[in-house]
Amino acid sequence: MHDIRLIRENPEGFDAGLARRGLEPLARALIVLDEERRAATTAVQVAQSRRNEASKLIGAAMAKGDRDTAEAVKAEVAALKDSMPALEARADDMAAKLKAALEIIPNLPADDVPHGMGEEENVEVSRWGTAREFDFTPKEHADLAPALGMDFETGARLSGARFTFLRGDMARLHRALGQFMLDVQTREHGYEESNPPVLVGDDAMYGTDKLPKFGNDSFQTNLTYDDERLKAQYFEWAQAGGDVAEPEQIAQAAVEISQLRRRQKDTDRRWLIPTSEVSLTASVMGELLDESALPMRLTALTLCFRSEAGAAGRDTRGFIRQHQFEKCELVSIVRPEDSEAEHQRMVRAAETILERLDLPYRKLLLCTGDMGFGARKTYDLEVWLPGQGAYREISSCSNTGEFQARRMNTRYRVAGEQKKTEFVHTLNGSGLAVGRTLVAVIENYQNADGTVTVPDALLPYMGGVTRLEPAK
RNA sequence: GGAGAGGUGGCAGAGUGGUCGAAUGCGCCGCACUCGAAAUGCGGUUUACCGGCAACGGUAACGUGGGUUCGAAUCCCACCCUCUCCGCCA
């Protein structure tokens, strides 16, 4: 969320930032909205001020027993009050309009983010590792892994496309990766291990800029309904005995059930987190923190859920793009002056995992046109997949500045300064996406005979298993 | 799910229709005392928004949303959350 005061002070700078994102200028329109909003607010406050003044007069008159004066002033206030609802409605309306306009505008890019329109213009910052020389043609994981326990067919049968059933040592290797990541991030990089809810309310999603714009990208629960009514309904059907199968009756029942569903309360609705960035970051939602609590570093290994609404047809084969996947997430809550250094530190924490697993990767600084909605600067890590002969994203680390903190209202009290509060900066990054790391291990550690060697770093987690082998 | 209690400032905790934005304690900031520290004393200390260069003035907020009233932290209604007990249950 942007600060309207900054836009007011520097409209050209704001529009220039939008232009770098490829967006039309908006400052002028926002400022007009804001002026109307402020005028409406002032009108309300003037009326309230008069009302309060008069009410005090009444109180004083009553105390003195001067009923005549009290009644006279009461009449005056009554007239004033008639005009107030309209003023208040106008002020509320203008505030809501400004908020609605602001909340769908993405964060502005940091100055050092390269200009560009799409992913082709991202800047490669560095490469690590050497791609292994194969004396056979390396396979893609989607071809190699089914024999080793990555069961796409069963996943699809249970849940549809983009769901996978992992079996045996493949499932164990997946678990080993998650444990390994969590252990490195907690023990070596100072992140506090967390186990947060993966179902969250609207506020947490809004605060981490997933709402209102990206509701379609996430799954939501919405099927709680009135149990008693349903039970009664079923009881009725049972009583009806053989007549239950009457088409009209069934249709009627179906209509009633769908009505019950629609009447659910808003509070019954939860979102399945698309990333535990949501849970971890929103854990400080609405708080006024002590400066001494910063930096706050949190990590969690959780399931993540994405509808992939905009990705129809992309990566449908294999384990790269799933509706449900695990990720070891890193979140930092820091002072503004520390956020750039923290960003670098976070990327290093993610890189460490790839290096320990000896997986070649490259680091990209995303250009303005490829950054996510809330980010002001983002690094992506892309891992080498020899089967595909391509680098694929495996981590994304973003500094959102105070963008999310404003939405969440998360501030801290500046030490030594009596009155000062400031918004924190929030950062999030994957350290790493477990499913994609599993893909990378399979493709990089595959052997000519169709087996996969377990990387050394994971051996402590594998209970003696040193390679994945096809079932006999 | 049932019964009861409760949600107030950074924290704890008073306040049940009118100078209550809110006592008190803790914490924090400043000053005094001290060589220094502790202890003590004095003063200050909620947040957001609107107006103003500023000093300052105004408005709002006592879980959330409605309502009653000239006036609501205080009364009424709904909802959310927490705690205790009971029931059910992975």
Pairing of strands A296-305, A288-290: unpaired
CA–C1' A290–B13 (A): 22
Cβ neighbours, 10 Å, residue A53? 11
Give A186-217 pLDDT, tens digit per residue.
999 999 999 999 999 888 999 999 988 888 88
DSSP run (H or E) holding A217: none
* A147 Cβ nearer than 7 Å to chain B strand: no
| DSSP sequence for A278-333 | HHHHGGGTT-EEEGGG-SEEEEEEEEEE---GGGTTTT-SSSSS-SEEEEEEEEEE
| A104 and A215 Cβ atoms separated by less than 8 Å | no
pLDDT given at position A93: 85
| A272 and A306 Cβ atoms separated by less than 8 Å | no
Complex-level ipTM: 0.84
CA–C1' A44–B71 (A): 17
CA–C1' A85–B67 (A): 15
* A81 Cβ nearer than 7 Å to chain B strand: yes
CA A44 to chain CA mean position, Å: 37
Pairing of strands A377-385, A390-399: antiparallel
Tokens of A119: 């992913």
Q: Which nucleotide's C1' atom has the smallest distance to the CA of A51?
A: B70
Residue that is written with structure tokens 């449900």 in the block: A324
What's the DSSP call for residue A463?
T
CA–C1' A88–B17 (A): 24
Q: How far is CA A388 from CA A137, A176, A182, A258, A320, in A?
A: 11, 24, 28, 46, 12
Residue that is written with structure tokens 């179902």 in the block: A199
Q: Tell which residue, A450, A431, A103, has the closest CA to residue A467.
A: A450
* Rounded-to-integer distance, Cα A215 and Cα A209, Å: 10
* Rounded-to-integer distance, Cα A410 and Cα A426, Å: 10
- Cβ-based contacts (< 7 Å) between A 233-292 and strand B: 265, 267, 288
pLDDT given at position A418: 61
CA–C1' A292–B32 (A): 29
What's the DSSP call for residue A160?
-
* Rounded-to-integer distance, Cα A276 and Cα A26, Å: 32
Q: Which nucleotide's C1' atom has the smallest distance to the CA of A289?
A: B10
pLDDT given at position A304: 96
| A403 and A372 Cβ atoms separated by less than 8 Å | no
* Rounded-to-integer distance, Cα A140 and Cα A35, Å: 58
In the sheet that holds A421-423, the strands lie side by side as A288-290, A411-413, A421-423
* 3-class secondary-structure state, position A230: helix
Low-confidence residues of chain A, pLDDT below 70? 63-65, 222-268, 416-419, 472
- Cβ-based contacts (< 7 Å) between A 409-428 and strand B: 411, 413, 416, 418-419, 421
pLDDT given at position A87: 85
CA–C1' A84–B70 (A): 14
- Which bases of chain B come closer than 7 Å to a protein CB? 10, 18, 28-30, 44-51, 58-60, 70-71, 79-81
Residue that is written with structure tokens 């799409």 in the block: A118
Pairing of strands A452-453, A467-468: antiparallel
* A49 Cβ nearer than 7 Å to chain B strand: yes
Buried b (16+ CB within 10 A) or exposed e, A116-149: beeeeebeeeeeebeeeeeeeebbbbbebbeebb
| A243 and A408 Cβ atoms separated by less than 8 Å | no
- Cβ-based contacts (< 7 Å) between A 3-32 and strand B: 4-5
* Rounded-to-integer distance, Cα A89 and Cα A80, Å: 15
* Rounded-to-integer distance, Cα A409 and Cα A404, Å: 8
A409: left (phi > 0), else alpha (psi -120 to 50), else beta? left
Return the nearest residue to B19, CA–C1': A56
* Rounded-to-integer distance, Cα A185 and Cα A191, Å: 6
Q: Which nucleotide's C1' atom has the smallest distance to the CA of A48?
A: B59
Return the nearest residue to B49, CA–C1': A41
A337: left (phi > 0), else alpha (psi -120 to 50), else beta? alpha
C-alpha triplet A150, A151, A152: angle, nearest 5°: 110
CB neighbour list of residue A443: distance below 8 Å, 6 or more residues apart = A138, A139, A140, A141, A144, A385, A386, A387, A388
* A66 Cβ nearer than 7 Å to chain B strand: no
* Rounded-to-integer distance, Cα A125 and Cα A179, Å: 29
Q: What is the residue type of A438?
A: L
